[in-house]
Chains A and B, each alone.
Chain A
Amino acid sequence: MRVAMNGGTQRSRGRVLIGKPGLDGHTRGAKFIAKALADHGYEVIYTGIRRTPAEIATAAVQEDVDVVGLSLLSGAHNTLFPQVLAELRKLGAADVPVIAGGVIPQADIPGLLTAGITAVFTPGAPIEQILAAFDEACTRRRKMS
């Protein structure tokens, strides 16, 4: 079967998963980012609230996304973000970059970056910066593979 891919429609930039680990139910930020990414040309899979790190990692692997985005406002980021990374490793997906956002104190950011989070955004970060981070992470990963 050889059907060319560009039947006049635009290809997507890549696939991303937006996950909300932890227990907080504040979806405004996560949904805005998800919609903005879709408008920017990504296929976006949204997990909904209260997902465990294992659920997020499993979904990311089944969907074979290029980037995982995490949003958390409850303050449990130091516990849960590294857990998502660990679950991804367990599934052989350590190469999938993870970008995080939420109410995260500046003091916690270096630790999260060291743990393997690609980028961390706090409230008020301009959307262009966030989209650029996804673009960069996605491009880098696609080049690697």
Chain B
Amino acid sequence: MSDPVPSSIEWGTLTTRRLGQLMTAIEEQRPEAADVVAALQRQTWPGLTVGVTGPPGSGKSTLISALVRELRRRRERVGVVAVDPSSDRTGGAFLGDRLRMMEHATDADVLVRSIATRGHGGGVAPAVSDLARLLRAAGYAWVLIETVGAGQVETDVVARADVTLLVQAPGLGDEIQALKKGILEVADLVVVNKSDQPGAVELRRQLETWAASPERVLATCATSGEGIAELLQAIDARRPERASETSRLRARREEVRGLALAILRDRLDASLRDADVTRGTTWEAAERLVASLRFEP
């Protein structure tokens, strides 16, 4: 990305090409993106960011595609950021979510971006937050973020959204158990997708018990479109501007906490490379490592 970023950016007039390039610069944390990111973080952009996570096979991409269809019917502009894991070994990734959203491929008001978790050292979540800000600044009032709800990184990503959906489907077995602990707490809404399949009713009942409040659990069938309008309504009702001052503050605190953790993790990794871990017990080595971290900006 060669062009310097102008001091005052006409966000609404950016071409798709320019947006695509800016997203790369933000994602790769290139120096020239710093000003853009700063400008993006200075204000709250109109719109709503929705995080969507769930195990493989729960039909997240198809659900997102159905949400996009419904939003387009309402003439909303939509951005989608689909996050997939990349290989630690090669740095490569096969980003396949876009394939299930191709029905919107030539719709100028739908922008889909695939992101790999690679090389961010815990930084993918902040990067995705900034991408969402950029899309909202550019006039994509709805931003949907998709991750495979497997690890901490993915949970961090969706937990930063204004509204977070956890997608489940019948027939996936032990996955629910695994997810119960972490993600269920950060999810605002739990979606039982593939509601036309056997086992959906039982799954819903089970999730209602776990989710503390049954009204947080909704059923959809993304392939037929059933329940999609209701889901959007429920998402809408949870917009942060409708939320109380305390919960907004909590969300803000949560984001700062996430960013701080990312910075810490990165410095920790850097220091760990040079640390002497052979002396004393491992506990002692860990304490020495923490004490050695430098905290000036």
A binds B: yes
A contacts with B: majority SS: loop
Within 8 A of A (CB), among B61-104: 86-96, 98-99, 102
Q: For A46, list chain B residues within 8 Å (CB).
A: 94-96, 98-99
Other-chain residue from B2, B99, B114, B266 in contact with A3 (beta carbon distance below 8 A): B266
Contact of B111 with A by CB under 8 A: yes
Contact of B171 with A by CB under 8 A: no
A139 to B111 alpha-carbon distance, docked (Å): 26
Within 8 A of B (CB), among A84-126: 91-93
Q: A40-B92, A51-B105, A64-B23 are in contact. Are A4 and B98 (CB under 8 A)?
A: no
CB of B121 within 8 A of CB of A7, answer yes
Other-chain residue from A7, A13, A35, A48 in contact with B266 (beta carbon distance below 8 A): A7
Q: For A37, list chain B residues within 8 Å (CB).
A: 92
Within 8 A of A (CB), among B89-131: 89-96, 98-99, 102, 105-106, 111-114, 116, 118-123, 126, 130
Interface size on B, as a range, is 35 or more
Contact of B290 with A by CB under 8 A: no
Q: A10-B90, A43-B86 are in contact. Are A5 and B95 (CB under 8 A)?
A: no
CB of B16 within 8 A of CB of A91, answer yes
Q: For A2, list chain B residues within 8 Å (CB).
A: 263
Contact of B177 with A by CB under 8 A: no
Contact of A133 with B by CB under 8 A: no
Interface size on A, as a range, is 35 or more
CB of A7 within 8 A of CB of B265, answer yes
CB of A7 within 8 A of CB of B269, answer yes
CB of A63 within 8 A of CB of B265, answer no
Q: For A130, list chain B residues within 8 Å (CB).
A: none
CB distance from A69 to the nearest CB of B (A): 13
**Contact pattern, A 44-76, Cβ under 8 Å of B = 1, otherwise 0:** 111110011011001101111000000000000
CB of A12 within 8 A of CB of B99, answer no
A9 to B93 alpha-carbon distance, docked (Å): 13
Within 8 A of A (CB), among B260-280: 262-263, 265-266, 269-270
CB distance from A134 to the nearest CB of B (A): 12
CB of A12 within 8 A of CB of B92, answer yes
Q: A3-B29, A55-B102, A58-B106 are in contact. Are A63 and B94 (CB under 8 A)?
A: no
Which of B28, B123, B259 counts the most chain A CB atoms within 10 A? B123
CB of B106 within 8 A of CB of A54, answer yes
Q: For B86, list chain A residues within 8 Å (CB).
A: 9, 12, 43
CB of B94 within 8 A of CB of A38, answer yes
Contact of B181 with A by CB under 8 A: no
Provide a sorted-by-A list of 30 A–B residue pairs whose CB atoms are within 8 angstroms.
A3-B121, A4-B266, A5-B28, A7-B265, A8-B269, A9-B119, A10-B90, A10-B119, A12-B91, A12-B118, A34-B94, A38-B90, A40-B92, A41-B91, A41-B92, A43-B95, A43-B114, A43-B118, A45-B98, A47-B105, A52-B105, A54-B106, A58-B106, A59-B112, A61-B16, A62-B16, A63-B113, A92-B15, A145-B1, A145-B2
A residues neighboring B (CB under 8 Å): 1-13, 15, 34-35, 37-48, 51-52, 54-55, 58-59, 61-64, 91-93, 145
A45-B114, A46-B94, A52-B105 given; name 20 further pairs at CB < 8 Å: A1-B259, A5-B28, A5-B119, A37-B92, A38-B92, A38-B93, A41-B92, A43-B86, A43-B92, A43-B95, A43-B114, A45-B95, A46-B96, A47-B105, A48-B102, A58-B16, A61-B17, A62-B113, A64-B20, A64-B24
